[in-house]
A and B are shown apart, each in its own frame.
Chain A
Amino acid sequence: MSETLTLRVLRYDPDRDAEPYLQDYVVPYREEWVVLDALSYIKEELDPTLAYRGSCHMALCGSCGMMIDRQPKLACHTFLRDYVGRPLLIEPLDHFPIERDLIVDQDGFLEKLASLYPYLIAEHERTVSEGEYRQLPAQLAAFRPFAQCINCLLCYAACPQVAINPDFAGPAALALAHRYNKDSRDAGELARAEVTDSPHGVWDCTFVGACSEVCPKQVDPAAAIQQTKISASFRWLKARLLPGDKP
């Protein structure tokens, strides 16, 4: 077994570099190490200028998403032992502008997410005397998988439509819209339809399905989007075929 592993890391310093370049680092090989451990080693022992995001180290915070061997993965969830024998390519997430090194600009995503009102919109202001919301297990099951999203953005890196249509709301934002739409406590589906039913809402999706394949939390955004296409179609029929002033 080799005692070292080479990480080939994309570097980019906007103050110094016209464009990104690759830099090799030789790190110790430890069977239990994940890529995030190797990056920490680089920063602590080899090159303090390396910039990357990481926090919980347990696939919960969604910070450490990056391209590892050309696949969107969480650095804390990807073991070095699966990549021995050749240099391991580490790049920032595809389809996002690179701020610096492995850090991407997420602002576009955050705007898209905000536009989908990712919070419960209640039918009316609930008073304490009305008591808590009650939810049956079946009602919880209707939205629970979609609530597992950690906003790691691996799905955006995997989705070619995100690259082809930069205004596409994208898998995670649409999965979260669906999560709230399907929550029995929520009454905001029509408000979210402003975006979901718009050309760059669900309709930029062609069901490639890569999003659901790379999701580390099994959120299945592809399913959320296809189901939203069906409800959007019914809303369209209602708007276009029934009299009234719905746009």
Chain B
Amino acid sequence: MTRRPYHRPLPSNWWRREPRLFRYIVREGTSVFVGLYAAILMDGMIRLAQGRAAWESYLAALSSPWGVTVQLICLGFALFHTVTWFGVTPKAMPPLLVKGQPVPARLIVRGHFVLWAAVSLLVLLILGG
């Protein structure tokens, strides 16, 4: 038998052929909306620097139907990012040992959500003034 290995190229729709791979692309896609919101915040800081009138028109834009719609979409993707990011964080850590026993991954994830709640509360308090 002469060797003639057959190469199968990766189909261009590889990410649509499997739920697991599709979810991976959606997960990566959350970053588009995280980035979009960062640009919205940048815009806000420019307006803040420009003075009261500019800031107030920024607030009005944020509160407009378009503003709310875009932000709600960003919020949905940002929450999916949070959930997926915390979900994988335990894997990036070497096994955490407490009294010789490894801490199960689900406790590490829960700990992150507790931290998330605390940070969220802190931000709300700071923004609430």
Direct touch of chains A and B (CB < 8 A): yes
| B52 contacts chain A at the CB level, 8 A cutoff | no
Chain A contact patch, size range: 35 or more
| B93 contacts chain A at the CB level, 8 A cutoff | yes
Cβ < 8 Å to B, chain A residues 127-175: 137-138, 141-142, 160, 163-164
Interface size on B, residues (CB 8 A): 26
Closest to A105 in B: B5
User: Among A1-9, A28-36, A93-101, A237-245, which stretch is in contact with chain B?
Assistant: A93-101
| A220 contacts chain B at the CB level, 8 A cutoff | yes
CB pair A14–B20 under 8 Å, yes or no, is no
Residues of A within 8 A of B10 (CB): 95, 160, 163-164
Closest to B20 in A: A210
CB pair A160–B1 under 8 Å, yes or no, is no
User: Among A39-47, A109-117, A223-231, which stretch is in contact with chain B?
Assistant: A223-231
User: Among B59-67, B73-81, B95-103, B120-128, which stretch is in contact with chain A?
Assistant: B95-103
Task: Give the Cβ gap from A138 to chain B, nearest Cβ, in Å.
Answer: 6
CB pair A223–B1 under 8 Å, yes or no, is no
CB pair A209–B3 under 8 Å, yes or no, is no
Spell out A's residues near B (CB within 8 Å): 12-15, 19-20, 70, 94-95, 97-100, 105, 137-138, 141-142, 160, 163-164, 182, 206-210, 212-213, 220, 222-223, 226-227, 229-230
18 contacts between A and B (CB under 8 A): A14-B4, A95-B10, A97-B7, A98-B8, A99-B5, A105-B5, A138-B97, A141-B95, A142-B95, A160-B15, A209-B88, A210-B20, A220-B91, A222-B91, A226-B92, A227-B92, A227-B93, A229-B92
